[in-house]
């Protein structure tokens, strides 16, 4: 693969991740299943993107959108974006979990993580190991309007 192809692929993934991050911000006003359904039906998303390149593009896009607009850059937003970028393949699952919080009785910390074929992909070192999983949602895109293979 030529250097220019790598650069174009990375730019294309970043632009799509930025678009997805903007749409994922609706989690503030819409239920999670509706946000996921919207992300799964978007047209012209990359098909066959390298998982690591998609992870890097997701992290960059979420950080930049937060810096430029004040948008959320949370584990849930990042998991939704990466899940949508990789949703053309089998085995992409969004997990939500909780653990007791440090602030005192009745508080809890939440975390969202993404797995690909059972392996954590967004934060590969820990995944959601410290959290009790409470929800598991597969993410799958069935659109015919995708770009050509990017691998």
Q: Which are the contacts of 88, defined by CB distance < 8 A and separation ≥ 6? A: 45, 46, 47, 48, 141, 146
Tokens of 34: 């509706």
Total residues belonging to the chain: 151
Helix (H) or strand (E) holding 53: helix 51-69
CA gap 54, 17 in Å, rounded: 8
Q: How many CB atoms lie within 10 A of CB 4?
A: 8
pLDDT of residue 108: 80
Q: How far is CA 12 from CA 8, 19, 40, 148, in A?
A: 6, 11, 18, 12
pLDDT of residue 117: 94
pLDDT of residue 151: 46
CA gap 22, 151 in Å, rounded: 25
pLDDT along the chain (151 residues), means of 10: 72 95 95 91 87 95 95 94 94 91 73 93 79 91 55 46
């Amino acid at each position: 693969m030529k250097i220019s192809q790598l650069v174009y692929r990375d730019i294309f993934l970043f632009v799509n991740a930025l678009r997805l991050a903007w749409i994922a911000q609706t989690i503030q006003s819409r239920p999670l299943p509706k946000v996921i359904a919207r992300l799964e039906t978007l047209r012209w998303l990359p098909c066959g993107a390298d998982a690591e390149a998609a992870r890097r593009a997701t992290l960059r896009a979420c950080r930049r959108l937060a810096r430029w607009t004040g948008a959320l850059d949370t584990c849930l937003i990042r998991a939704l974006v990466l899940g949508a970028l990789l949703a053309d393949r089998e085995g992409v699952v969004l997990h939500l979990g909780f653990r007791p919080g440090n602030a005192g009785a009745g508080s809890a910390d939440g975390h969202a993580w993404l797995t690909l074929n059972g392996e954590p992909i967004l934060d590969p070192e820990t995944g959601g190991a410290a959290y009790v999983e409470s929800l598991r949602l597969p993410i799958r895109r069935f659109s015919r309007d995708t770009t050509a293979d990017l691998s």
